[in-house]
Amino acid sequence: MQLIVISGLAGSGKSIALTALEDSGYYCVDNLPASLLLEVTLYLKRSAHDRVAVSIDARSRETLPLLPQQLADLRRQGIDVHLLFLEAKTYTLVKRFSETRRRHPLSDDHSTLPESIQMEREMLREVRNLASRIDTSDLSASALRAWVRDFIGLNPANLTLLFQSFGFKHGIPLDSDMVYDVRCLPNPHYEMRLRPLTGRDGPVIEYLDENADVNRMFGDIRAFIEGWLPCFIRDSRSYLTVAIGCTGGRHRSVYFVERLARHFAANTQILVRHRELDHPESAD
């Protein structure tokens, strides 16, 4: 039996993720108290449900401290458990709540919305540290659904090396474990013939391939990851997210992510994400 536990901040897209899992054939339960996770999961297992997804978050805050022990107990029962945590920048969450006019689950007469969001971050800190994380700040609903489908398609026995491109002008992804800055390298944005293209396109690849500094930077990043990857594997990590940033996240960072993914794909489980390619207005 496979169990996906969705947690994260209010407004970060947990409902979208849960719907994506339901559409993929999972039996889904929303807003389950952590104290009931073991009991409900084993009941569903006896009922012949082999793929289950549940949402547990700050709405059941009294039982949240029980979640780590519940997850450990389930793994001892032979359940294949995965914890996925969704988060977003505070200003993004404030904007989403303002647009939907929803009330934050921790809001009261004494706390502002940003204060409630920060309180929730602290409350969920331990859960976040146990989970694979997705920063939804700049994701469309369709992109989030696609990332969730990628997540459930992975082999849980292997560490997944996730390469993500981004633009510094749009902020550093919250889910990054390593961040590399390639803004010092030649920028295809200033070549008019290359500006409409991305780092996936042949002319941009050729332009960057020919530069000695680009190749030296690639070699340094590759060597660092290769040197430290065994340590993360020994630490029983399921995910390692390597974020590569340039100015707008469309040329140099995309090129590096694609090239690194090709290099590591022979021996490591790989995921590739290009955050800014969902935003055509952004420029490198």
pLDDT tens digit string along 133-192? 999 998 889 989 988 988 888 776 688 999 999 999 999 999 899 999 999 999 999 999
Convert the pLDDT of each residue in 240-270 to its tens digit.
Answer: 999 999 999 999 999 999 999 999 998 899 9
CA 136 to chain centre: 7
* DSSP strands (E only) in 168-283: 178-181, 239-246, 269-274
Q: What is the pLDDT of residue 272?
A: 94
Q: Which domains does the chain have, with CATH numbers?
A: 2-152 (3.40.50.300), 160-278 (no CATH)
Helices and strands in the chain, H and E counts = 10, 9
Q: What mean pLDDT is predicted for residues 224-246?
A: 90
**Please, how many CA atoms are within 13 Å of residue 269, restricted to the half-sphere of its CB?**
15
pLDDT digits (tens, 9 = 90+) for 205-214: 999 999 999 9
Please tell me the pTM assigned to this model.
0.78
Given a cut of 70, is residue 279 above it in pLDDT? no
In angstroms, the CA 91 to CA 114 distance is 8
CB under 8 Å to 42, separation ≥6 — which residues? 77
| Most confident of the following: 71-85, 93-107, 149-163, 204-218 | 204-218
Is residue 54 packed enough to be buried (19+ CB in 10 Å), middle (13-18) or exposed (0-12)?
Answer: buried
Measure CA of the first residue to CA of the last residue in the chain; give whole Å.
44
> What crossing angle do the helices spanning 67-76 and 37-46 adopt, rounded to 10°?
30
* CA pair distance 165, 180, nearest whole angstrom: 10
Measuring CA to CA, which residue among 262, 259, 275, 254 is closest to residue 172?
Answer: 275
Type of residue found at 135 = D
Whether 34 has a pLDDT exceeding 80, the answer reads yes
pLDDT at 118: 95
